[in-house]
Every structure is written in structure tokens, then in C-alpha cells.
Amino acid sequence: MTRQARQAPIDGAMHFAHHTGKRLLSAGEFAQLADISPQKARRALARAEGGHTWNGHKLKVERHGRQLFLIAGSLPDKLWRKFVAREVADILPEPGIRDDEAHLAFQRLPRAARERARRKADIACYILKLREVLGEGASWAEIARGVRATFGPKGTSENSLKALFKAVQGGDPINFAPALAPNWRTTPRRAPCTDQAWAAFLAIIRDSHASYPLLHAWRDARDIAAGEGWDWPGYEVVLRRWRGLPKARREELRFGRELVLKGTIPVNRDRTTLRPMDQLSLDGRKVDNWVRFPDGIVCRPVMIVLCDVRSDKVVGWRLAKSETSEATRTLLIGTVRRHGVPKRIDTDNGSAFASSRFSGSNAHPYIKTEADRESRSFGACDVLNIDVEYHKPGNARAKPAEAIFSHLRHIDNGPRFKGAHTGNRPGDRPSAAVEPVSLEFAERVYGEAIAAFNTLPCRVQGANGRSRNEIFEQERGAPRIATEAQLRSASLEYDKRKVDQFGRLRIGNWSYGDENTRPILDRYIGQELWIGRDPENYEASVVAYDTDQCLVCNDIPCMAAGAYRSREGERTAKKLKRDRIKHLNKAAEADNALSSHGLAELLEKHRSAAPTDEGAASGDVVQMTPNLLRPARPDRDASDSAEIAKIRERELAAEAEDKAAGGA
């Protein structure tokens, strides 16, 4: 390339050469290009300023202050190409459009293959830039010298560079590395192996213990294959194929599917998406102290805790002799009175928490069919419209209440319970040296500790140094208030009973229902109803629901059994009889039934107007309806009227007596 060609107008990549020709080189840079000492380079620039040549070539220089600079465009052709080859390595070509699929396939290659492909791509980009700068007339020998000077001698022969440039010609530089990656694939020759033999090998591993060696499983499969005539390769081949299976499949064959499912990726949950009282966590644990209850029983009580999932605040707790549905229901009702109704409760599948008296008909792992669901009675959560979700055993980390217990466990070992400590071994019993504390004292100690726990700064998500009480109060919305009627219904104990022939409901020795409720319950005689009664007071009135959980009767009084030949029993019987007569009279007045005399006249009128059969004998009447149009007996008319009058007189006398008794 001549000097005039270097200084000609340039487009595209040649724009680089145009500006490179105007670049000023210091004496040190000129010395590196010409492989001379810096002193000789400075003397050559000084002589060029005076109009002298250097090696028969005229150099152009510019002075800036006391220093001379060489104009790069005036370099001899050999030095100019060397300078361009050095400078072009720092210039990136236009990348073009990226091929995502090719790059994904490129990332799956081994690391060594990717590194070799990237080196080839750099060489191809360098060749492309060098050809654009030096022009199409640049020889491959000259290009190869520049490539070797930059990338070394390995793989930089002229033929290799030609093949490399031909492979990427017409492509985008950003895709050079995937295009130059080795396209070989491992196609090993597989040893013969019958599918039945491999299936037998996997079955041996599946049915053996997890510690059964693979070598012994291979030997067992070898013996089976020899007897069946199957092809079975060596141990190394089988081991390589075994390791090629997915890790989850190998673990399933070794340890079972349940263990593999435990390795499922957990779901990350953000507590800040909840509000206080949206979700509560319920759990119980046995404390490590002996406590004496008011009835004299000494035991290790169970602490049942309700904590808010959003704030970790303990919103309710209770010490009970054991984890029962009654204690849990009492705790829930007390919590609802103080903080409102929660939307959901998370708990384990303990018998108390999964009982129908607490959770009602909420979905439970043990409820398999609709019949099982219908057999479950009402529960406190049903009445209060609370959803219950159960966690499986062995998943304690899913329950925030377990973390609360770990914080509160130090209370059991504190000095205030001196003499009442015990281990946490099953079946521990109090000895003579044990001094149990009273229930009142234990409740006071735990109450103070829980109150202090709620006021401490916590590390709950989104707490930012706030305490549990502050999170609960600041982020809480409008509470869901339960009415007294709801709380009363939630505190009742529900059982299924049939209505007897007298319109009563009997539970054991207790009978419920009087003449005021009988008109309602008579419609359900022989049918089963859900009966809710106060577990602490069986003499209180009960409530009844049908099997579809629709209210039947709200206040059904208790009819307590009295002693034989008691005056109170006689008065109760008379009162029931009066109530019975009163309801019958009200029903009769409401119906406005036709009197017997009026009915007789009406029947006689229709009998005389009834058509007769011409072929029938005189005196015979055709009966249109049974026993209604039969000829009336004349001798009974007067007697019937007299009897009706007597009955009416007795009824009026009884009503007068009842009114007099009621007024008294």
C-alpha cells in the first residue's frame, strides 16, 4: 500500500487507517517500531526536521515545544503495516446480531473447547480488521506475520488462517466463537446390554436396603442374566450407566420416593404480605415443671399457644392438664374476645386440634369421603368462620409456634420453679423431693415472661427493630368482631341425637324440649339433629341444627328428672298438660274447623241430593265415597248432638279452670 493510498478517502473500517495516519508518534514509539535505540530515534527525528531522510525514506515530523513527534502516515510501508497490525488489535468490529440458540449450545461445550473456539474467534476478528485496514491486496503471508506477532505461532499457518477466515466469512463477529467451536460429538460404542437385565438390576437396587453395595447388585443381575441368556456388561460399564441416571432417580431407587420428595425446592414466603390476625399458628408442648391444679392433681401441664404469623406475637395461651379439644376451644374463644376473629389457623394434625369439636367440618387429611365429612359435628371454627389448615408430621419448621416455644423454653429452667423442675423424658412422675407449684403461680410466671417476650425488638420480616406488639398494633386493620351469640354457639358441645315420639331430645339422662318447642321438633320426629349444649352446664338450654347445618330451634329448655312422688313433679306435669291444651286450642282457633253438627248437616244435605241407580232396589243408595254418603241413622242424630254438646261443655269448663289456675 502506497503513501497516497493511505491518505486517500476511506469508508467503513478504513476510516481507522485515515485517522491512524494522522497520529503522532513519540521517539520511544518510533524506536519500538523500527527496533532501534531511543537515542537513534531522536537523532532520526531531528535530522528529518532538517530535511534529511532516514534509510532513504523521508519522514514528516512536528514539533511541540521541545519535543519532536513523527506523523504515522509518513512511515515506510513495512513499519506502517507493523504499526497498523499493532493498533488494529485494540479495535473491535461491528458485533452484528447475536444468535442466542448458538450461544446456548456453545455454553454446553467443555471449557477447553470453548477456550479454543474463543481464540479462533479472536484470530478471525483480527484477520477481518487487518484485511479491511490494509485492503484486499494484503498478502496472506503478511497477515500471518501480524497474527503470529499477536497470537503466537500455534495454529497460525497461512492455510489454517485461510480455512479459519473462510469458515466465518459472511457471518457476524459476535457469533464467530459458536461457529468455530468443534462440532464433534461423543459417539462411544456401547457394550451390549439387554433391557430386561438392566431392569432386573434396577429392581434389585430398589428392593434392597440403601446400604446394599452396587457391586453385589451387579453380581446378582449377572447371575440372573446368565441363567436367562441375557447380555450383561462389566461392572465399570454398568457403574458408568448408573451414574448417568438423574440424581433424583438414583435416590428414589436407593432411599424411596418419600425421601426424594423432601428435597423438593421450598417455597419462599413473605410475611409482609399478611396483616395481623390474618393467620394464627396453633401448637402445644408439655412444660418441664410439675404443677398442682385446683382439684389436687399434680402433672406436667401442656401449654397451648396461639401466635400471630405476621408479627410473631403470642395472642393467646393456656395451661391445661392435657391437649384437649375443650382447652383449645376455650383458648380460641378467649383470644377472639380480646383480638377478634382470625381468618385462618395453621396447626398440626394432633387429635385435639383435628377434633370435630374444635375444627368442625374443615378439611382434614383423615376426611376421605363426603360421608366422613358429614359425620363430623359442628366446631368452634365452623361457627366463627375460621379456615383450618393442617401441617403434616415432621414438618415443625412450617409452624411459627415451634419457634415461639424455643424462645420460651428457658422459663421452665428458671429459678422461680426451684424444686418443681423435671426432665423432658416420657413417663416422668413426681417424687417425694418434688415441690409442685400451684397453677396460679405458674400462670403468673408464664404470663409475665410472654408479656416481656411480646415487647422485645424482634427480627421478623419487615420488623425494622420494632417489637411484636408494635407490629401488631401498627399494621392491624379493622378487627372481625364476634357477637355474643356466635361466641356462645362456638363454646357449645355438639352431638347427634334423634327426636323421640314426644318431640324431645335425650342425651344420656338429660332430656330437652317442652310444649313450647314441641310444635317445631314434631316435624323432625325420628330424624337426627345436631344438639349443642354447654359442656359445663348441662341444665342450660340447648340449640338444634339439622344435618345441613340449618338452625332448627335456638332455645330448647332442659327438663330435669325429678324424684318419685314429688310435688314439684306433679306441678310440672300439670303445667305441661296445660301448655299442651293451650297449644291445641290455639291450633284449633287458627284452623277454624267446622263443628261436628255443621258437618252432619252438610253430609245429610249431600246425601239427599246424591243420584240413585234406577236398577237398584228402593231404599238402597249408591255409595260414591266410602262411609260419607251412607244414610244417616235417625235414632243416632239426637244422641250424637247431645254427646257433642256435653264434650263442648267439658272443654269450656276445662278452659275456665285453666284460666283461673293461670291467674292464680
pLDDT digits (tens, 9 = 90+) for 46-82: 888 888 888 888 888 888 888 888 887 788 877 876 7
Gap between the Cα atoms of 145 and 126, Å rounded: 12
Give the residue from 305, 570, 245 showing the smallest Cα distance to 450. Answer: 305
- Tell me phi and psi for residue 483, to 5 degrees: -80, 165
Gap between the Cα atoms of 298 and 404, Å rounded: 26
Domains 271-475 and 492-559 share a fold: no
pLDDT at 21 over 80: no
**CATH number of the structural domain 100-180:** 1.10.10
Q: Which residues contact 85 (CB under 8 A, 6 or more apart)?
A: 130, 145, 146, 149, 150
Contact 78, 70 (CB under 8 A): no
Q: Does domain 195-262 have CATH number 1.10.10?
A: yes
- Tell me phi and psi for residue 302, to 5 degrees: -105, 130
620: its cell numbers: 238402597
Q: Does domain 271-475 have CATH number 3.20.20.100?
A: no
pLDDT digits (tens, 9 = 90+) for 207-229: 999 999 999 999 999 999 999 99
Return the CATH class of domain 3-88: mainly alpha
Give the residue from 352, 210, 238 showing the smallest Cα distance to 284. Answer: 352
Domains of the chain by residue range: 3-88, 100-180, 195-262, 271-475, 492-559, 597-607+626-664
CA atoms within 13 A on the CB side of 166: 7
Taking the CA atoms of residue 165, residue 169, residue 175 and residue 180 in that order, the dihedral angle to the nearest 10 degrees is -40
pLDDT at 627 over 60: no
pTM of the complete model beyond 0.85: no
DSSP 8-state secondary structure symbol assigned to residue 208: S
**CATH number of the structural domain 492-559:** 2.40.50.100
pLDDT digits (tens, 9 = 90+) for 341-360: 999 998 887 778 888 788 87
What b/e sequence results for 244-265 when a residue is b if at least 16 CB atoms lie within 10 Å of its CB, and e otherwise? Answer: eeeeeebbbbbeeeeebeeeee
pLDDT digits (tens, 9 = 90+) for 548-599: 778 888 888 887 665 555 566 566 666 777 776 777 777 766 666 666 666 6
Gap between the Cα atoms of 106 and 174, Å rounded: 12
Residue 309 CA from chain centroid, whole number: 14
Confidence label for 243 from pLDDT (cuts 50, 70 and 90):
very high
Gap between the Cα atoms of 275 and 130, Å rounded: 67
Q: 303: which strand partners?
A: 285, 319
Helical H segments across 340-409, by residue range: 356-359, 370-375, 380-383, 400-408
| Amino acid 364: pLDDT | 64
